[in-house]
């Protein structure tokens, strides 16, 4: 469940700390927090209904907004306004955003695409390309090869590749993941790997399991942050149950995808505990 073949490299970039200063909601009122600080190793989830401003929130972080987006938020790096170089030079930018969109425009072979990115980031040699593809293959069940075309990859393959790319080629200390649960990838493996590399990770998610395993939960409403929750111990107990349910559903999903007819779903972990009856 982790990434044994890749040694996490401590990159000097990983010392970055991000501070989010409040903006305004859709009615122009100030958001209800003073500042949100994100350091390496932190995990946060962004939850809220569709249209509540979740994607706008991570987009602000991605562009290192300086009160120049619709939300009016200001993003600081290490407690001050980021230098122009940090914002504009992709080789120095500490943030990678993996969007919900898994369409790719670049009609290039996977290896060529990665080579161009390695060149842009200046983060290594050709050898890193095969490592990136190998890591992506740990995240997806559908094998990716270097000679496939980017435009021919499935949604799960694209997302796996982009996450592996952000970890190894981008080497960004902060990853923003927009609804990765939709993409048919091994999310537990992704999370374990991100932990191992000591990344700061922000998930936009509707997935209860993902939302519960993060350290902090940001609740969005009407274009603004409505609350920042740190449930900690209160929720720790339930995570085991949800994890079991999640595994149950994943197993069921795989069976359905594999063409099986489901005669008995078997007991879900929570129901077994309470009633002992099959679901």
Q: Does 107 contact other proteins by CB under 8 A?
A: yes
Q: Does 21 contact other proteins by CB under 8 A?
A: no
Q: Does 120 contact other proteins by CB under 8 A?
A: yes
Stretch that binds other proteins, among 29-37, 102-110, 227-235, 265-273 (CB under 8 A): 102-110
Give the nearest distance from C-beta 207 to other proteins in angstroms.
20
Q: Does 154 contact other proteins by CB under 8 A?
A: no
Give the nearest distance from C-beta 75 to other proteins in angstroms.
12
Q: Does 251 contact other proteins by CB under 8 A?
A: no
Give 81-119 as a DSSP string: PPPHHHHH-TTT--EEEE-S-------SBHHHHHHHHHH
Q: Does 23 contact other proteins by CB under 8 A?
A: no
Query: Using CA atoms, how far apart are residues 193 and 1, in angstroms rounded to an integer?
Result: 8
Dihedral class, residue 193 (left if φ above 0, else alpha if ψ from -120 to 50, else beta): alpha
Q: Does 170 contact other proteins by CB under 8 A?
A: yes
Helix, strand, coil abundance in the chain, percent, nearest 5 = 40, 15, 40
Please give the residues from 38 up to 77 whose contact with other proteins meets the rule CB under 8 A: 59, 62-63, 65-66, 68-70
Query: Using CA atoms, how far apart are residues 47 and 39, in angstroms rounded to an integer?
Result: 20
Sheet holding 18-21: strands in order across? Answer: 36-38, 18-21, 74-77
Q: For residues 66 and 80, is the Cβ–Cβ distance under 8 A?
A: no
Query: Using CA atoms, how far apart are residues 213 and 218, in angstroms rounded to an integer?
Result: 13
Q: Does 130 contact other proteins by CB under 8 A?
A: no
DSSP state of 172: -
Give the nearest distance from C-beta 217 to other proteins in angstroms.
24
Among 99, 222, 243, 268, binds other proteins (CB under 8 A): 99
Stretch that binds other proteins, among 20-28, 44-52, 91-99, 190-198 (CB under 8 A): 91-99
Q: Which residues make up the interface to other proteins (CB under 8 A)?
A: 59, 62-63, 65-66, 68-70, 84, 88, 90, 95-99, 101, 104-108, 113, 116-117, 119-121, 162, 165-166, 169-170
């Amino acid at each position: 469940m982790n990434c044994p073949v890749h040694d996490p490299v401590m990159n000097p970039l990983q010392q970055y700390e991000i501070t989010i200063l409040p903006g305004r909601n859709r009615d122009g009122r100030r958001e209800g927090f003073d500042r949100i600080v994100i350091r390496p190793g932190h995990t946060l989830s962004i939850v809220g209904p569709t249209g509540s401003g979740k994607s706008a929130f991570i987009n602000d972080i991605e562009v290192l907004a300086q009160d120049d987006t619709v939300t009016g938020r200001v993003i600081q790096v290490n407690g001050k306004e980021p230098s122009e170089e940090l914002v504009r030079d992709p080789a120095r930018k500490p943030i990678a955003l993996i969007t919900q969109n898994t369409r790719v425009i670049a009609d290039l072979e996977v290896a060529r695409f990665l080579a161009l990115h390695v060149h842009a980031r200046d983060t290594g040699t050709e050898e890193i390309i095969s490592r990136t593809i190998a890591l992506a293959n740990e995240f997806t069940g559908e094998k990716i090869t270097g000679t496939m075309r980017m435009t021919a990859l499935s949604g799960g393959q694209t997302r796996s590749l982009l996450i592996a790319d952000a970890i190894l080629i981008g080497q960004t200390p902060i990853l923003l993941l927009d609804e990765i649960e939709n993409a048919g990838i091994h999310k537990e493996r992704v999370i374990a790997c991100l932990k191992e590399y000591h990344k700061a990770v922000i998930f936009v998610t509707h997935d209860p399991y993902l939302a519960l395993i993060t350290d902090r939960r940001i609740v969005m409403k009407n274009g603004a942050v409505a609350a920042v929750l740190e449930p900690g111990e209160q929720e720790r107990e339930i995570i085991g149950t949800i994890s079991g349910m999640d595994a149950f559903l994943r197993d069921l999903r795989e069976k359905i995808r594999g063409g099986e007819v489901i005669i008995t779903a078997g007991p879900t972990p929570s129901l077994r505990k309470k009633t002992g009856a099959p679901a």
